[in-house]
């Protein structure tokens, strides 16, 4: 089983405008609601690929109900802990000539709520996968991921960490199966601009020396590179199509890689499927559907 954790899920209110002018009344040309959160995005793409997962996290209020219902409609199992107070956050995404996001803080998560989550992780068994994705809400201690990883220690579990900066670094001693920084995140981690492939490779190898088993570095329009625990480096390219959306593209890559690896245990295939999922979401208004993923995958395999 693959478990995805989203500590602070959301309802994303996406509004499309011809242009956005600060300080003025702006009229939308299109608007939509979708459930959001990095772990939830991973579960959604896994479902498109026919891979079962269980979504964990915290929900509250009417927006929390909408999140759970949205997953149910997609055939995704969810076992969220319901908080008594507050509402799950609503994030506003303005899509005009540029993308602008306004992300809410979300409800307060009490100590006893987090203890319930820790108890839930006792269901994880050898061979399962857990995806820790996104930031930690301000109402939780910044060692939340570490406490989860300590709790499941001793079990043969694939750990995936999709986080940034110190939050990622603190998880490396637990030898995560996969991490996925992009070039900008590598620069932030190492305190310098990562300019070329050689420097990127050195940074990725350093993260492996600190505990990561496999490192995917997403390079935007230049594709992605995987430094794998088998000692090899794998490459994927990207298709040259119009990018409609960047929200969830990285999460889609994680989901595709996990699905591909579970199916074949082949790193090259897993990276190709991951790249296809990331590309497909970038070419879609929302998270990609299986038909788009399949089309992009075939084109990538054929060399674009």
Angle 24-30-33 from CA coordinates, rounded to 5°: 105
Are 236 and 228 in contact by the 8 Å Cβ rule? The answer is: no
Angle 155-160-165 from CA coordinates, rounded to 5°: 125
Are 3 and 130 in contact by the 8 Å Cβ rule? The answer is: yes
Are 54 and 2 in contact by the 8 Å Cβ rule? The answer is: yes
Alpha-helical regions (H) of 215-289: 249-264, 267-282
Return the number of other C-beta atoms located less than 10 Å from residue 48's C-beta. Answer: 22
Are 49 and 293 in contact by the 8 Å Cβ rule? The answer is: yes
Q: What backbone phi and psi angles, to 5 degrees, belong to 109?
A: -110, 115
97 annotated active-site: no
Are 153 and 126 in contact by the 8 Å Cβ rule? The answer is: no
Which member of 128, 199, 251, 295 is catalytic?
251
DSSP 8-state code for residue 233: E
**How many whole angstroms separate alpha carbon 154 and alpha carbon 159?**
12
Which strands make up the sheet holding 10-16, listed edge to edge?
A: 30-36, 10-16, 89-95, 99-102
**How many whole angstroms separate alpha carbon 146 and alpha carbon 173?**
10
**How many whole angstroms separate alpha carbon 94 and alpha carbon 103?**
11
Radius of gyration for the alpha carbons in the chain, expressed in angstroms and rounded: 19
Question: What is the pairing mode between strands 89-95 and 99-102?
Answer: antiparallel
Which residues are catalytic, by number? 251
């Amino acid at each position: 089983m693959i478990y995805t954790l989203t500590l602070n899920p959301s309802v994303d209110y996406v509004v499309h405008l011809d242009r956005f002018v600060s300080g003025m009344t702006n009229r939308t040309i299109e608007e939509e609601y979708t459930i959001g959160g990095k772990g939830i995005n991973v579960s959604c793409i896994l479902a498109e690929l026919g891979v079962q997962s269980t979504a964990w996290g915290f929900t509250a209020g009417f927006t929390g109900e909408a999140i759970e219902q949205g997953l149910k409609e997609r055939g995704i199992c969810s076992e969220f802990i319901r908080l008594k107070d507050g509402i799950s956050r609503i994030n506003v995404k303005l899509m005009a000539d540029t993308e602008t996001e306004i992300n809410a803080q979300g409800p307060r998560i009490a100590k006893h709520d987090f203890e319930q989550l820790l108890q839930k992780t006792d269901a994880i068994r050898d061979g399962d996968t857990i995806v820790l994705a996104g930031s930690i809400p301000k109402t939780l201690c910044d060692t939340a991921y570490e406490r989860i990883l300590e709790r499941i220690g001793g079990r043969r579990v694939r750990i995936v960490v999709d986080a940034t900066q110190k939050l990622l670094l603190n998880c490396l001693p637990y030898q995560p199966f996969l991490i996925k920084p992009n070039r900008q995140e590598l620069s932030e981690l190492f305190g310098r601009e990562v300019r070329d492939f050689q420097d990127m490779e050195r940074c990725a190898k350093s993260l492996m020396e600190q505990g990561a088993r496999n490192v995917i570095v997403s390079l935007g329009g230049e594709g992605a590179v995987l430094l794998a625990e088998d000692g090899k480096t794998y490459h994927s390219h990207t298709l040259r199509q119009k990018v409609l959306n960047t929200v969830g593209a990285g999460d889609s890559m994680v989901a595709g890689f996990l699905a591909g690896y579970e199916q074949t245990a082949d790193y090259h295939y897993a990276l190709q499927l991951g790249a296809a999922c990331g590309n497909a979401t970038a070419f879609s208004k929302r998270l990609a559907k299986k038909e788009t993923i399949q089309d992009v995958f075939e084109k990538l395999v054929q060399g674009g």
